[in-house]
Structure 1
Amino acid sequence: QDASAKWGFFQVVNHGVPTSTQNRIRAGTHQFFNQDAEAKKEYFRAEPMSKVVYTSNYGLYTAPVAYWSDVILFNMAPEPLEPEQIPACIRENVQDFSEEISKVGGLMLELLSEALGLAVNHLKEEMGCAEGMGLACNYYPHCPQPKLALGITHHTDIGFITILSQDHVGGLQVVHRGHWVNVPPVLEALVVNIGDMLQVHV
């Protein structure tokens, strides 16, 4: 509760998501992004609400600082994603990881409800905070001029909560009292981010 209120972030261990499941989604992500452009272009979309959206260097010609990142986003719910819509090289990994992470998300919403003095099912069921789910796989390729680019610029997440699975490289930072603070990777831990919609609703 204290971390949510003061930081908007906290790390979770003993969450039940198998290490093997986290490792497989990372391996599948690398496999997808290391394909040639011809294989990936099928999933390139300008409309972010498509069921599967692949983007590369988002805002390259419009943002003040170039984003040096590739993302493939899977809109998993409320409308279910058909297996054949997911790239074959990552299909099983996406299905397994999203199933596990949705359980963690539901539990986090129950705990946050209790921390706010509400009924345990208030956020999850009464407000429907668990109805939608997106799974974003981010990839940050080697950048030859890192001083001219950012993996991703400062931002807030618009949803209720975001659950992050970091690899060993790190790079995640959060703002606390006007200062950027590194979030070092913790083996097997998940990072929970309180999103804009949850802050507005409570």
Structure 2
Amino acid sequence: MDTSYNQNLARDPPFHETYKTLISNSMDEESRLKITLKNDLVIVEECELLPLIDLSPLFLDDIDELQKEGCKEEIARAAHEWGFFQVVNHGISRDILENMREEQVKVFKQPFETKLLNFSAGSYRWGTPNSATSIRQLSWSEAFHIPSSALSPSSSSLQQFATEVASLAQELAEILAEKIMGHKSSTYFQENCLPSTCYLRLNRYPPCPIASQIFGLMPHTDSDFLTILHQDQVGGLQLEKDGKWVAVKPNPEALIINIGDLFQAWSNGYYKSVQHCVVTNPTKERFSAAYFLCPSCETVIESCSKPSIY
């Protein structure tokens, strides 16, 4: 048997063994599941319409205020109309992103048992082994959930990435707050979204033998204020727009930003937290890294306008 195949099995979570019954049962229902799996929404091809925003006006000293305000307006409009947008010239160097990805790949290449046993409790997660009752509830993926405060100097690439992306998240959150309130906000996000409450999630989506039927990550919304995603070029991210699943075409220069449930509540529904998912690939593994801007459990979230709809 191919050596590389055995190595992949050794490092992959035991999807086949754990989901054996569900996968076997699904074979008799393949045609029906292909139609219903995606929450009955129509799937479209990869879309290049997702707003793409150049952030350079925010960081350059020789840019006039009109250009800066125009950039901020684009950010707020995309958050309102789509809940998702891409950003380029975001201030995070290609070296930092590439070094982070190399470190991420090394971590996931370790044997499954090593990942399961040698990391702090709760940090390594895979699939939905204890809760799935049908093939539609499976997530064919593995992930590390890492609080920003837990990153050690030994993981320098991850720490660098977390530091840079945290700064960008704070900047975007303040802009979104400013545009809806009509003035610069206080230090709300700096005070309430701390390294101890924000976290990174490193994701790996192994090849899936029945990719047409199983999600890499089930449809969901994010429960934070906002999320910043760095993904590879394999593709698989889809978001809901106008009753359809829109596939996001990977852009090697861009980070993806999406609004979370807390920002939707804080903005009284103006900014949109939309459903999104990851679909699997039959032959290629996919990597992504997400940063979640989260407040502490004690933080009071109140809508910025009245009457509140939440």
Indicate the TM-score class for this superposition, using the shorter chain for normalisation. 0.7 to 0.9
Shift of 1:25: 1.5
Q: How does 1:80-99 map to 2 (within 5 A)?
A: 80-81=149-150, 83=152, 91-99=155-163
Distance in 1 of aligned mates of 2:120 and 2:207: 21
For 1:175 and 1:129, how far apart are their aligned partners in 2?
29
Name the structure 1 match of 2:261. 196
Cα distance in 2 for partners of 1:100, 1:19 equals: 12
Corresponding position of 1:10 = 85
User: Is residue 151–residue 159 contact of structure 2 (8 Å, CA) maintained in 1?
Assistant: no
Q: Confirm whether residue 71 of structure 1 aligns to residue 143 of structure 2.
A: yes
Paired amino acid for 2:161: F
Q: How does 1:132-151 map to 2 (within 5 A)?
A: 132-151=197-216
CA distance in structure 1 between the partners assigned to 2:115 and 2:101 by the alignment: 17
Q: Greater shift after overlay, 152-161 or 23-32?
A: 23-32
Please list the CA deviations of residues 73-123 of structure 1 after superposition, one character each: whole Å capped at 9, or x if unmatched: 1111xxx22517xxx6xx11211100110111111012112221343234x
Question: Superposition RMSD on alpha carbons, in Å?
Answer: 1.8
Between the aligned partners of 1:82 and 1:14, the Cα distance in structure 2 is 26
Counterpart in 1 of 2:286? none
Alpha-carbon distance in structure 2 between the residues aligned to 1:151 and 1:165: 16
Aligned partner of residue 24 in structure 1, secondary structure: helix
The verdict on how the C-alpha distance between 1:39 and 1:182 changes in structure 2, with shifts beyond 3 A counting, is same
State whether residues 129 and 160 of structure 1, in contact with CA within 8 Å, keep that contact through their aligned partners in structure 2. no
Q: Distance in 1 between matches of 2:109 and 2:184?
A: 43
Question: How do residues 18-167 of structure 1 correspond to structure 2 at under 5 angstroms?
Answer: 18-41=93-116, 42-43=118-119, 45=121, 47=122, 53-57=123-127, 59-63=128-132, 64=134, 65=136, 66-76=138-148, 80-81=149-150, 83=152, 91-122=155-186, 125-126=187-188, 128=191, 130-131=193-194, 132-167=197-232
Regions of 4+ moved over 6 Å = none
Alignment gaps of 5+ in structure 2: 1-75, 268-310
Q: What secondary structure, in the 3-state scheme, does the structure 2 residue paired with 1:11 have?
A: strand
Q: Which runs of 5+ in 1 are unaligned?
A: 48-52
Identity, in percent, stands at 32
In structure 2, distance between residues paired with 1:30 and 1:98: 16
- CA–CA distance in 1 between the matches of 2:188 and 2:156? 31
Which protein has the larger Cα radius of gyration, Structure 1 or Structure 2?
Answer: 2
**What's the CA shift for 1:61?**
4.0
Q: Distance in 2 between matches of 1:176 and 1:163?
A: 19
Q: Give the aligned residue type for 1:126.
A: Y
The answer to which structure, 1 or 2, has the higher relative contact order (CA under 8 A, 6+ apart) is 1
* Separation in 2, partners of 1:129, 1:105: 13
Give the conservation status (yes or no) of the 8 Å contact 2:124–2:142: yes
Question: How many equivalent pairs are there?
Answer: 185
TM-score by length of 1: 0.84
Following superposition, the deviation at residue 44 of structure 1 comes to: 6.2
